[in-house]
Amino acid sequence: MVKHPPQTIAEAIIEYLIKNEVNTFFIVTGENISPMVDYIEKRKEIKYYCFQHEQSAAMAAESYYRSSQGKVGAVLSMGGPGAQNLLNGICGCYYESVPCVFITGQVDTYESLDSVQTTPRQVGPQESPISKSFKYFTKYSTKLTTPRMVSEQLHLAFSAMLSNRKGPILLEVPLNIQGSNKSKFMFKHPVISNSSKLEISEELNFLRKHLKKSKRPLFLLGNGIKLSHSEDMALEMVNSIKIPFVTSWGGFDIISHDHPLFIGDIGVYGSRSGNFAIQNCDLLISIGSRLDTQQTGKDLSKFSRESYKVVVDIDPNELYKNRGLDIDMVIEGDAKLFMRQLTSVITPLDQISEWLNYVNKLKSSKESRPLNEKVLSPYEFLEELNLKLPDNSTVIPDEGNHLFWSMQSLKPNNTQKVYSNFGNASTGYALPASIGASIVNSNPIICISGDGSFQANIQELQTIKNYNLPIKIFIINNKGYGSIRQFQDSYFNSRYTATDGDDYSSPDFVKIAEAYGIKALRATKKNYKKVINLAMQEKGCILVDVIIDKNQNVTPKLEPGYALEDMSPYLTAKQIHSNMIIDMIHRDVNHYQGWKKIEE
Amino acid sequence: MVKHPPQTIAEAIIEYLIKNEVNTFFIVTGENISPMVDYIEKRKEIKYYCFQHEQSAAMAAESYYRSSQGKVGAVLSMGGPGAQNLLNGICGCYYESVPCVFITGQVDTYESLDSVQTTPRQVGPQESPISKSFKYFTKYSTKLTTPRMVSEQLHLAFSAMLSNRKGPILLEVPLNIQGSNKSKFMFKHPVISNSSKLEISEELNFLRKHLKKSKRPLFLLGNGIKLSHSEDMALEMVNSIKIPFVTSWGGFDIISHDHPLFIGDIGVYGSRSGNFAIQNCDLLISIGSRLDTQQTGKDLSKFSRESYKVVVDIDPNELYKNRGLDIDMVIEGDAKLFMRQLTSVITPLDQISEWLNYVNKLKSSKESRPLNEKVLSPYEFLEELNLKLPDNSTVIPDEGNHLFWSMQSLKPNNTQKVYSNFGNASTGYALPASIGASIVNSNPIICISGDGSFQANIQELQTIKNYNLPIKIFIINNKGYGSIRQFQDSYFNSRYTATDGDDYSSPDFVKIAEAYGIKALRATKKNYKKVINLAMQEKGCILVDVIIDKNQNVTPKLEPGYALEDMSPYLTAKQIHSNMIIDMIHRDVNHYQGWKKIEE
C-alpha cells in the first residue's frame, strides 16, 4: 500500500521504483531533476547518496549491485552535461550486465529539440539528445515526452532491464513532465522473461558421453555465475563432480582460492598454472564466460587447441558471435540451471587421476620475481596485504598495472570478494565503486588504485568524508602510467611519451587526503608491513600512498599473438615442454605482429 | 614539403593534421592510441599537453580555439572509457560551434564488434561503439576500418568541420589501422563550403526601409560575430550607424562595456537595462544569436513584443526552427558579411534621439544589492576583481551562481575577454578551459569557479602544476550548490535536498592547492581587496578560496514565464511603468507555472 499517494509524474516514477525494490539512489542534482530529488527526501523507504560527479554516482550504483548480491540502484542526474557525464558508468553497467535505473532530467518539452521544425543543435538550455545517443549502451533508453506514456515506458524499461542478460536502462524525463499530474499513471509491473532453455537434457546426455571419455576435463567459471547468483551452486558442482577448475577475472572470487581443485585464473595477466591447465585440457566446460581476447589471447587458433569446447551462456549474441573460436557445443541457458542439472547427472570420474596430479603440480610452482633491496615491489606489498586481509573483505582494484598486480597477488578465501569493472575497465572506477560497496556493507572495503587512475575521480574523497565511510584506500604509486609504459617498452623502444617525464606528475596524495579531512599514511619498503597493520586497524577511512619500484612490470604477461602457455618472461622450450601434455608449437614462427599487422 | 615521410596510417593522419594547421594536441594516452602519441613527439611542429582526464583535454581544446582566435586543436584519447569521457567536452564544442579534431583509439578490427556475426555488447577489450553514438554531437563521426578509406574520410571530416556552422569531428582509429602501411594514403585537402548567401541586397533594401521608419532600433550582438571573427566589424558597424546595442552572453565581450551605445546584456540573468531596451525597441536586428530561452524568457509572446524582428544567422536550422518566436525577416548569412554590407548602405538615423536618451537613462540606474557587514558578497568581490583586472585578461567562469554573478559584475573593456561554455554549461569547465587559454596566451587568465563546480575537474591542478601555467583561480565559495538552492527557494519551499546540509560538503581548497604544489590564499570580507592585489601580482599559478555570504542569491533574475522587463526582485508597477515605452502587461495574470504546467 502506498502511504504517500503520488501527485505528480515525478512522484509516481519514484513510487514505481520503490514498488520494484529500487530504493537506493545515487545523485548529483540539478535544476531539471529537482522535482524527483525533492520527493526522494520525503520517502523514508529511500536511502540516497550525493556524489561530486555524475560518473562516480553511476560507478557507485554499478558496484552497489555487485556488492549487495543483486539490489538494483537508481542514479539521478540533470540532463545535458550531467547526463553526458554518466556515460562511462552506464557503459560499465552494460558490459558487466548490471541492471541499474538511470533517470536524467531534460528541458521542458515545449522548448526541446522535439518541439521545433528543423534540427538545430540545441533548443532548451543545456539540452542534449541523451536517450537517442545512449541506446548503444543500454537495454532500454527513452525520453518520456507525455504523461500518458510514462506507465507503459516504465513497464517496458524495467522488463528489459531484468530479463535475460541484464543491463542498465535510461529514462529522460523533461522537467514539465516530472511536474505533470499523475492521473494518467497506472502501475504496470515489469514482466521478466528468460528466453534461455529450461530443458537441456539432450545437451547433458551428449556432454555426459564426452565426460566419460575425457581424461583431462576442466571447468572455466565466469562472471555469469555471479550474475545468476549461483556461487554456492558452483561450489556444490565442483565438490560433487570433482573436476578441476580455472576462472576468468569475472569468476575470480566465486570459490575460495584454497580450494584443492582451483588451478588459477587464465588470460593475458592470468596465472601460468591456469593457462597451462586450459591449454592442456581435453574437455573445456566454460560457464558464464564470454571467452574474450583477454582470456584466450589474440590468436584463437592457439587457445586450448586440443579440447572439446562446451560453452554455456545466457546470451545468444555471445554464443553465436563466431569470432574465430571453434566451439563444439553451445548451451544457451542460465548458469545456475546448467550447474544444477549437470551436478544431478554426473558423478566423479575415475579416469582423471593423472590429470589431477598434473594440475596439482602446476599449482605448486611459484612465479619468480626478484626483489629490489631498497624499493618496494608491488608484489611484496600486495602479497602482504593479501595475508592481512580480514575475512569478509571486498577488494576493488582500479584500472592499470595495480589491477594486474592485484589479480596476481590476491587469493580470496570463501568470504572475500575481489572485483573490478573488467569490461569497460575505466580508470577512476575503484574509488566510487568502493563507495557503492561500502554503503551496503559494513565489512572492510579495500580500494586499490594507482597514482594515475586515482586522479580520475579524486573528488569523491569528499563523498567518503561526507558519509564517513570506512574505506581503506591504497594508491600503488609508481609515478606514471605504468601499464602504458610497459606497452611502450614492448613496442616503442621505451619512449615514454605522455606517460612519464615532462608529461606526467602526481600530487602529494597524503596531503590531498588531509585536505579532504581524511587520515593518510605513506608506505615504503621500510615500513609497509607496519602501515598495512595500521590501516587494517583503522576504524574510519584511511588512504595509504604506497611508494613502489617504478621499474616493476607485470609478470607474467601474455604478449599479443602468443599461446597462453608462452607468457613473458619466457620460459625455455624445455621448461614449457615439461608442463605440456599436448604438443608444443614453435614459438618463433608466424608470430603475430601486434598493431602493425594489417595490409590490404 | 613533408620532411618526415609518414610510414604508417597513424603518421599519415598526424601529417594531415599538421598540413591543415592543426598542431596543438590535447592528450590522455592509452594503449590503443599509442602509435599516434608516439609519433607526435617526433614532430617539432607539434606542441602537446597531457591532461589527467579526457573531459578536461576536450574542454581545454575547445577553449584553446576561442582564445587563439580560431586555431583548431586536436584531442587524442584511447577508445572505450577514454572516449566516453570526451563526451561532455565534445558537446561543449558542438553547442559553441567550435571546430576540433577528436581522434580516439579503438580495438583491432579483427576483434571488434564489426568482426562478428551477432551483436554482443563488446568484443575487444574496453570496446565501445563511440562514433555511432556520438554522431548526435559532432559534424562528422566515423570509424576508420580500412587503410584505404582513411584519405577520403579525413577529407570529408575536415570539410564538414570547417564548412558553414563549424563544429567538432570524431575519428575512431583501430590500433591495427594506426599501424598499417600508409601506401594507400593520399592527401586530399578539405573543401570548405559556405552555403549562406553572399548576396543580400534585396533584404538590405527592405531593412533600410524599416530602419528609416524605426524610432527605437536595437542591435543584438551574439556569438556568431565571434565565430566569424568579426568583432572589429561589429565595432565599426556600431560606430558608423550609431544604433544602440545589447548582447547575448555569447556576444558579451565583443565590444567594450564602456562603449556609449552599449546598453547591457539581456536574458534570464542579464541586466535590467538590456532587458528594458530589448522589450521596448521597435526594430530588433539580431546578429549571430540563436535567441534561446535564456535570452527571451520562456514565454515567447512576451519577448520584445512590439518590435519588427530581423534575425541574421548562418545556420538555417536556427532561422527556421519556428519555436514560437515571430521573426519578421530572416537573413541566412555570415555575420561579417551582413555587418559589412549594412554598414556600407546605412548612415546614422535622425529620428532616434529620444530613444538614445531613453537607453542612456536605463544605463544610469544601478541594481540595489544590500551588503552584509560581516560576510563578503560575491558582488562586492567580483566588482573589485573587475576593477583590478589587467588589460588583455581573459576571464573564464564555470557553471553555477558564480557565473551569473560574474556576468553581472564584469565589464570587459576592448582588450578583455569573458567567456564560458554557455550552451552545454557543464560544471568543471573553467579550470581546463583556463588551461586551454593559458597555453596560447601569455596574458592573464582568470578562472572563476564555485566550490561545487570546481570539484568536477579538480585533478587538472596537476596539469597546471606540470606545465607551470600562471592561471589565477578564484573559487567563489558559498558552501553548496547555490544556483539549485535558489531554485529550491523558489519552487520547493527551501528544502535543500542534495544541495546543502548533510548532503554536501567541500574540502579545504587552500590545502588542496598546496597538495598539488600550487600557491593558495583565502579571501574574506576583511582582506579581499588585499588578496586580489596579491593574486594579480603573482607570477605563477595561484588559487584563492573566496569565502562569501552563503545566502546571497543572484539578483536580478527572470523567473520562468515572466516578461523580460519584470525581473525579480520585482519592481513596483509604477517603477516598471516609468521604464516602459510600450504597454505593460498585467503581471499576475496567466502566470506560467514553471515545470508544473503540462496537462493532457
**pLDDT, tens digit (0-9, with 9 covering 90-100), for A500-550:** 989 999 999 999 999 999 999 999 999 999 999 999 999 999 999 999 999
User: Residue A60: is its pLDDT beyond 60?
Assistant: yes
CB within 8 Å: A484 and B511: no
C-alpha to C-alpha distance for A377 and B258, rounded to whole angstroms: 63
Q: Does B187 touch chain A (CB under 8 A)?
A: no
pLDDT of residue A143: 98
Convert the pLDDT of each residue in A181-200 to its tens digit.
Answer: 988 788 999 999 887 666 78
Binary contact (A128, B91; C-beta < 8 A):
yes
Q: Which of B40, B125, B133 sits opposite A293 (nearest CB)?
A: B125
Q: Which residues of B touch A149 (CB under 8 A)?
A: none
* Alpha-carbon span A570 to B392, nearest angstrom: 60
DSSP-assigned letters across all residues of B421-482: -TTT--TT-HHHHHHHHHTT--S-EEEEEEHHHHHTTGGGHHHHHHHT--EEEEEEE-SS-H
Calculate how close chain B gets to A283, using CA atoms only, in Å. Answer: 24
Q: Does A249 reach chain B within 8 Å, measured CB to CB?
A: no
Tell me which residues of chain A, numbers 524 to 583, contact chain B at a CB-CB cutoff of 8 Å. none
* Cβ neighbours, 10 Å, residue A570: 13
SS3 A314: coil
Average pLDDT, chain A: 94
The predicted structure's pLDDT at residue B423: 97
Alpha-carbon distance B72 to nearest alpha carbon in chain A (angstroms): 20
* Averaged pLDDT score across all residues of chain B: 94
**In the prediction, which pLDDT does B560 show?**
86
Q: Which helix (H) or strand (E) holds B268?
A: none
Query: Does any CB of chain A come closer than 8 Å to the CB of residue B46?
Result: no
Residues 123-152 of A with CB under 8 A from B: 123-126, 128-129, 132-137, 146-148
- Per-residue pLDDT, B596: 40
**pLDDT for position B200:** 81
Q: For residue B81, give the nearest of A40, A317, A425 by CB distance.
A: A425
CA distance B104 to chain A (A): 15
CA distance B137 to B169: 9
Between chains, do A292 and B121 touch, taking CB under 8 Å as contact? no
Share of chain A above pLDDT 70, in %: 96
Q: Is the pLDDT reported for residue B597 higher than 60?
A: no
Least confident of A124-133, A481-490, B83-92, B383-392: A481-490
Q: Is A180 in Cβ contact with B599 (below 8 Å)?
A: yes
Q: List chain B residues with CB under 8 Å of A176.
A: 595-598
Cβ separation of A128 and B80 shorter than 8 Å?
Answer: no
Q: Is the pLDDT of residue A246 over 50?
A: yes
What pLDDT score was predicted for residue B599? 42
Which residue, among B205, B196, B264, B262, has the nearest Cα to B228 in the 3D structure? B196
Radius of gyration of chain A (CA): 25
Confidence at residue B379, expressed as pLDDT on a 0 to 100 scale: 98
Q: Side chain identity at A344, as an amino acid letter?
A: S
Q: Tell if the CB–CB gap between A136 and B136 is shorter than 8 Å.
A: no
Residue A1 confidence (pLDDT): 40
Distance of residue B586 Cα from the nearest chain A Cα, in angstroms: 23
Residue B1 pLDDT > 50: no
- Range in A268-272, A586-590, B152-156 with the lowest mean pLDDT: A586-590
For residues B60-79, average pLDDT: 97
The partner residue sitting opposite B320, judged by closest CB among A55, A118, A483, is: A118
**Pair B316, B287: CB distance under 8 Å:** no
pTM: 0.96
State whether B50 and A148 contact (CB < 8 Å).
no
Instruction: Provide the pLDDT confidence category of residue A32 given band limits of 50, 70 and 90.
Output: very high
**Distance from A413 to chain B by nearest Cα, in Å?**
28
Give me the phi and psi of B583, to 5 degrees please. -65, 145
Asked if residue B341 lies in contact with residue B321, where contact means CB atoms within 8 angstroms, the answer is no
CA–CA gap between residue A93 and residue A166 (Å, rounded): 9
Using CA coordinates, name the residue in chain B closest to A122.
B95
Give per-residue pLDDT as tens, A63-80. Answer: 999 999 899 999 999 999
Interchain contact, B38 vs A495, CB within 8 Å: yes
- pLDDT above 70: percentage of residues in chain B: 96
- Residue B4: the pLDDT is 59
Distance CA B567, CA B586 (A): 14
Q: Which of A116, A181, A320 sits opposite B117 (nearest CB)?
A: A320
Distance from CA of B189 to the nearest CA of A (A): 24
B7/A contact by beta carbon, under 8 A: no
- The C-alpha torsion from A144 through A149 and A155 to A158, rounded to 10°, is 0
Give the one of A122, A424, A452 whose C-beta lies nearest to B81's C-beta: A424
Point out which residues pair with B570 in neighbouring strands.
none
pLDDT category at B255 given cuts 50, 70, 90 is very high
Cα angle A456, A457, A462 (rounded to 5 degrees) comes to 150
Compute the count of residue pairs across chains A and B with CB atoms less than 8 Å apart: 338
What residues of chain B, 95 to 114, have a C-beta less than 8 Å from chain A? 95, 108-111
A80, amino acid identity: G
Cα A255 to Cα A235, A404, B114: the distances in Å are 6, 20, 35
* 8 Å CB contact between B436 and B57: no
Average pLDDT over residues A357-385: 94
pLDDT at A199: 77
**Least Cα separation, residue A570 to chain B (angstroms):** 22
Min Cα distance B454 → chain A (Å) is: 9
- The model's confidence at residue A167, banded by pLDDT at 50, 70 and 90, is very high
Confidence (pLDDT) at A592? 45
Closest partner residue to A34 among B35, B38, B484, by Cβ? B484
Residue B293 burial class via C-beta count within 10 angstroms: exposed 0-12, middle 13-18, buried 19 and up: buried
Interface test with A, best of B595, B596, B597, B600 (most A CBs within 10 A): B595
Say whether pLDDT at A599 is over 70: no
In 3D space, the residue among B88, B329, B315, B322 whose CA is nearest the CA of residue B207 turns out to be B329
Q: What percent of chain A has pLDDT over 90?
A: 89
Q: pLDDT band at B437, cuts 50/70/90?
A: very high
Disruptive mutation site among A320, A457, A459 for chain B (greatest number of B CBs within 10 Å): A459
Can you tell me the mean pLDDT for A567-594?
Answer: 77
pLDDT band at A596 (very low <50, low <70, confident <90, very high): very low
Instruction: For B139, name the nearest residue in chain A, comparing CA atoms only.
Output: A121
Q: Are A246 and A278 in contact (CB under 8 A)?
A: yes
Residues of B with Cβ-Cβ distance to A450 under 8 angstroms: none
Contacts of B503 in chain A (CB under 8 A): 50, 466
What mean pLDDT comes out for the span A322-337? 92
Q: Hey, what domains does chain B have and what are their CATH numbers?
A: 9-184 (3.40.50.970), 201-364 (3.40.50.1220), 378-547 (3.40.50.970)
pLDDT given at position A561? 86
Q: How far apart are CA B135 and CA B142, in angstroms?
A: 8
Q: What is the mean pLDDT of residues A197-212?
A: 88
Q: Which residues of A touch B27 (CB under 8 A)?
A: 498
**Contact residues on chain A for B400, CB-CB shorter than 8 A:** none
- B60 alpha-carbon distance from chain centroid: 12
B120 to chain A: closest CA residue: A317
User: pLDDT at position A597, please?
Assistant: 40
Hey, of B11, B29, B475, which one would you mutate to test binding to chain A, going by the most A CBs within 10 A of its CB?
B29
CB contact under 8 A, B504 and A466: yes
Q: What ipTM score was computed for the predicted complex, to two decimals?
A: 0.96
Contact A321 B29 (CB under 8 A): no
Interchain CB distance below 8 Å, B177 and A598: yes
CB contact under 8 A, A320 and B118: yes
Q: Which one of B136, B315, B321 has the shortest CB-CB distance to A132?
A: B136
pLDDT digits (tens, 9 = 90+) for B195-220: 766 678 889 999 999 999 999 999 99
With an 8 Å Cβ cutoff, are B118 and A497 in contact?
A: no
Q: Give A502's contacts in chain B (Cβ within 8 Å).
A: 466
